[in-house]
């Protein structure tokens, strides 16, 4: 709290700002009883408001009335008190409190509301279950870490607004009751009373609206936008989340990236977040996937993936030979000098399987007859490989005696996913990420389409409005797009693209995605219509505010930086939503539960 409050009937000072400078003056404060202590006749109250804590003292001789009332005070009672700011005796100074040199010697006390015993102690470190905290969120929010997180969230959003306002952006709101939007998740639907059987959809993002704003000549738009996606919630994903949504007209990829570096770089600087200053490095999608097995690489530690295809090109080991013959790859990582028991190697194998790999080869490099290259292994497959092959793999992985090598042979995507997951698991298990180290980078040159083998069709990697690089060539699998993601410590904190601004290109892309003209018209007709009337080149991005604030606040869980989040189940322990509704309401909507 930067300024003193405007004096009113409840307070003329913030609790946390009464310092020794105020000694000898009168002050009025208001807040909650944080703690009460009785010392013989004296009563001490730690009074708390958003700014902090101040100690109140009640002397029975000089203020008998107030003292008498103070006897009845309990934790979390609400009060206002007036008194004189007095220096504490040196032995009573509390160096841990900003207000620790003084106390307020109370003359007048008024209890404004009484509190029942809270269902959990409102300490900074809390050990009670999250559901209980969410159910009593008003109490949970009183705790310092929550106040701190929400203040930080406010600051982050303010900085974003300041930087964008200075660059002539306009903040524009877009509808919540709308039609399905194309981010690829399930929609939340709102049944429409005016048209029984029809529904509004809650937006998965303001994507189409922000493009219309560009076609509408608004040039630069932003919004702190709520997005709704009906997916299974996880620690980092909730049914509704907030993003900084941006769109700019007459821009190339570099312009959007440059603007975001100013916004996010500005946030990091203000929050004193220890990460490199922009411009931030860029890595192509292909390189990220090749070196880290994932399109959001955590570059804070090594353990990079290496291709072993050449080392085993002539192998007679059937598993490797078959995979290579079928167009797959053999890749591996050097996990460093680790001795793992069989059970843990089995667990790693299981993890590789969970990511689609058929199996995992593990090997411990061993000093053999020759010093270098190390040409022996302790591994279940050692006997199937020639020593030259083992030596070649060891060389490629830079293996020293004692190093644990993990190898996957599979189709290229699966191999990357499995090794990428193993890499993160090893980093976690062996604490390979230096404490306090942060790495940020852009991932660029994404493929335009990915083949969905189950549905037997192409999917957009970003969304169907992303512009291709160059012309739409014959092989959709080779096309790149003008999409970009910002990745911090292995988490995607934002992503966007340059959009298609020509109707013919948009129609061709929708066609490639298997969305016929009629379906396209029905779903995005309003965008296609607008594209007929002169759309400027445009592009934008969306940054995940919940995740950014959580990273800045050093919280694992994004619910710690949201005032009223849903639980992991997607339900809201506070309000009880979702909840059954009155049959009359359903009738009005033309709905019946099945
Ligand atoms: N609409 C995209 C999203 O929500 C972001 C963008 O392309 O600007 O992920």
Give the chain's mean pLDDT. 95
Per-residue pLDDT, averaged over 571-584, amounts to 94
Q: Which three-class secondary structure state does DSSP give residue 290?
A: helix
Per the CB < 8 A criterion, the answer to whether 553 and 268 are in contact is no
pTM of the full predicted structure?
0.93
Instruction: Quote the ligand 1 centre to 183 CA distance (angstroms).
Output: 8
The DSSP annotation for 184-195 comes to: SSPPPEEE-TTS
Residue 372 is predicted with a pLDDT of: 57
Residue 454 is predicted with a pLDDT of: 87
Element (H, E) at 306: strand 306-307
Atom nearest to 466 CA in ligand 1: 7
Instruction: Quote the ligand 1 centre to 496 CA distance (angstroms).
Output: 5
373 has a pLDDT exceeding 70: no
Question: Within 13 Å, how many C-alpha atoms sit on residue 133's CB side?
Answer: 24
Residue 568 is predicted with a pLDDT of: 87
Residue 197 is predicted with a pLDDT of: 85
Residue 234 is predicted with a pLDDT of: 73
Atom nearest to 539 CA in ligand 1: 8
Going 62 to 63 to 65 to 69, the CA torsion angle's sign is negative
CA separation for the pair 243, 409 (Å, rounded): 39
Per-residue pLDDT, averaged over 141-153, amounts to 97
pLDDT-derived band at 315, boundaries 50, 70, 90: very high
Q: What is the DSSP letter of 447?
A: B
Per-residue pLDDT, averaged over 140-164, amounts to 97
Q: Quote the crossing angle between the two packed helices 517-531 and 207-215, to the nearest 10°.
A: 40
Instruction: Quote the ligand 1 centre to 464 CA distance (angstroms).
Output: 11
Instruction: Give the pLDDT confidence of 444-469 residue by residue, as tens digits.
Output: 999 999 998 888 999 999 999 999 99
Q: Which three-class secondary structure state does DSSP give residue 64?
A: helix
In percent, the amount of the chain with pLDDT more than 70 equals 98
Which of 213, 224, 245, 247 is the best mutation target for the ligand 1 pocket, counting ligand atoms within 8 Å of the beta carbon and taking the most? 245
CA separation for the pair 471, 481 (Å, rounded): 10
Which of 205, 226, 486, 540 is the best mutation target for the ligand 1 pocket, counting ligand atoms within 8 Å of the beta carbon and taking the most? 205
The DSSP annotation for 347-364 comes to: HHHHHHHHTT-S--EEEE
Per-residue pLDDT, averaged over 4-27, amounts to 96
227 has a pLDDT exceeding 70: yes
Instruction: Give the pLDDT confidence of 250-304 residue by residue, as tens digits.
Output: 999 999 999 999 999 999 999 999 999 999 999 999 999 999 999 999 999 999 9
Place of tokens 């002050």: 27
Question: Within 13 Å, how many C-alpha atoms sit on residue 388's CB side?
Answer: 7
**Residue with CA nearest ligand 1 atom 1:** 207
CA separation for the pair 507, 138 (Å, rounded): 50
Question: What are residue 226's DSSP bridge partners?
Answer: 242
54 has a pLDDT exceeding 80: yes
Per-residue pLDDT, averaged over 477-484, amounts to 96
Give whole-number Cα distances, 512 to 435, 459, 497, 506, 532, in Å.
46, 9, 19, 10, 20
235 versus 517: the higher-pLDDT residue is 517
**Residue with CA nearest ligand 1 atom 7:** 496
Instruction: Quote the ligand 1 centre to 270 CA distance (angstroms).
Output: 25
**Residue with CA nearest ligand 1 atom 4:** 205
Q: How big is the CA angle at 446 (ends 444 and 447), to the nearest 5 degrees?
A: 160
Q: Which of 288, 269, 175, 172 is nearest to 540 (CA)?
A: 172
106 has a pLDDT exceeding 60: yes
The DSSP annotation for 84-103 comes to: EEEEPPGGG--TTSTTTTEE
CA separation for the pair 541, 492 (Å, rounded): 12
Instruction: Quote the ligand 1 centre to 208 CA distance (angstroms).
Output: 10
Instruction: Quote the ligand 1 centre to 542 CA distance (angstroms).
Output: 5
Residue 501 is predicted with a pLDDT of: 98
- Report residue 223: phi and psi, to 5°: -160, 140
Going by their DSSP bridges, the two strands 440-444 and 282-284 should be labelled as parallel
Instruction: Quote the ligand 1 centre to 518 CA distance (angstroms).
Output: 24
Which residues does a 6 A CB cutoff place in the pocket of ligand 1?
183, 205, 207, 495-497, 540-542
Instruction: Give the pLDDT confidence of 162-186 residue by residue, as tens digits.
Output: 999 999 999 999 999 998 877 888 9
Residue 434 is predicted with a pLDDT of: 94
Going by their DSSP bridges, the two strands 457-460 and 189-191 should be labelled as unpaired
N- to C-terminal Cα separation, the chain: 53
In percent, the amount of the chain with pLDDT more than 90 equals 90
Instruction: Quote the ligand 1 centre to 299 CA distance (angstroms).
Output: 24
**Residue with CA nearest ligand 1 atom 8:** 541
Question: What are residue 241's DSSP bridge partners?
Answer: 227
pLDDT-derived band at 369, boundaries 50, 70, 90: low
Residue 374 is predicted with a pLDDT of: 67
Instruction: Quote the ligand 1 centre to 570 CA distance (angstroms).
Output: 22
Give residue 580's Cα distance to chain centre.
Answer: 31
């Amino acid at each position: 709290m930067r300024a003193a409050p405007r004096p009113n009937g409840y307070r003329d000072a913030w609790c946390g700002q009464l310092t020794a400078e105020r000694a000898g003056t009168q002050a009025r404060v208001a807040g909650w009883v944080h703690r009460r202590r009785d010392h013989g006749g004296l009563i001490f109250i730690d009074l708390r408001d958003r700014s902090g804590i101040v100690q109140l003292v009640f002397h029975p001789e000089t203020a008998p009335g107030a003292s008498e009332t103070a006897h009845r005070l309990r934790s979390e009672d609400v009060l206002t008190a007036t008194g004189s700011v007095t220096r504490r005796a040196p032995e009573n100074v509390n160096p841990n409190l900003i207000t620790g040199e003084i106390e307020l010697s109370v003359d007048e006390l008024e209890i404004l509301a009484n509190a029942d015993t809270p269902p959990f102690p409102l300490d900074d470190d809390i050990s009670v279950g999250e559901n209980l905290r969410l159910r009593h969120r008003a109490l949970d929010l009183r705790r310092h870490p929550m106040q701190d997180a929400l203040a930080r969230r406010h600051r982050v959003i303010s900085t974003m607004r300041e930087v964008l306002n200075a660059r002539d952006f306009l903040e524009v709101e877009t509808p919540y009751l709308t039609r399905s939007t194309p981010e690829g998740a399930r929609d939340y639907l709102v049944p429409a009373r005016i048209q029984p059987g029809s529904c509004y959809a809650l937006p998965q993002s303001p994507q189409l609206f922000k493009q219309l704003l560009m076609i509408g000549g608004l040039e630069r738009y932003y919004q702190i936008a709520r997005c709704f996606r009906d997916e299974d919630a996880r620690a980092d994903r909730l049914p509704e989340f907030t993003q900084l949504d941006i769109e700019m007209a007459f821009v190339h990829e570099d312009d959007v990236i440059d603007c975001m570096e100013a916004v996010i770089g500005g946030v990091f600087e203000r929050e004193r977040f220890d990460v490199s200053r922009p411009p931030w490095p860029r890595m192509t999608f292909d390189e990220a996937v090749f070196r880290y097995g994932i399109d959001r690489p955590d570059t804070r530690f090594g353990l990079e993936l290496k291709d072993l295809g050449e080392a085993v090109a002539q192998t007679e080991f059937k598993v490797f030979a078959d995979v290579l013959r079928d167009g797959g790859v053999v890749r591996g990582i050097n996990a460093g000098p680790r001795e793992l028991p069989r059970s843990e190697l089995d667990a790693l194998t299981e993890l590789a399987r969970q990511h689609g790999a058929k199996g995992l080869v593990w090997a411990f490099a061993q000093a053999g007859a020759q010093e270098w290259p190390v040409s022996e292994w302790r591994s279940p497959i050692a006997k199937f490989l020639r020593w030259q092959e083992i030596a070649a793999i060891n060389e490629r992985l830079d293996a020293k005696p004692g190093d644990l090598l993990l190898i996957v042979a599979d189709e290229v995507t699966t191999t990357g996913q499995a090794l990428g997951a193993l890499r993160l698991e090893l980093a976690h298990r062996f604490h390979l990420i230096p404490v306090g180290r942060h790495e940020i980078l852009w991932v660029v040159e994404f493929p335009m389409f990915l083949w969905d083998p189950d549905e037997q069709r192409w999917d957009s990697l970003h969304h169907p409005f992303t512009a291709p690089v160059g012309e739409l060539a014959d092989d959709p699998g080779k096309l790149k797009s003008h999409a970009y993601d910002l990745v911090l410590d292995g988490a995607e904190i934002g992503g966007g693209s340059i959009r298609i601004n020509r109707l013919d290109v948009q129609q061709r892309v929708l066609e490639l995605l298997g969305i016929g003209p009629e379906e396209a018209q029905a779903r995005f007709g309003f965008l296609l219509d607008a594209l007929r009337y002169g759309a400027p080149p445009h592009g934008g991005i969306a940054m995940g505010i919940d995740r950014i604030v959580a990273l800045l606040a050093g919280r694992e869980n994004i619910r710690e930086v949201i005032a009223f989040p849903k639980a992991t189940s997607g339900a809201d322990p506070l309000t009880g939503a979702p909840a059954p509704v009155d049959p009359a309401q359903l009738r009005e909507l033309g709905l019946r539960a099945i």
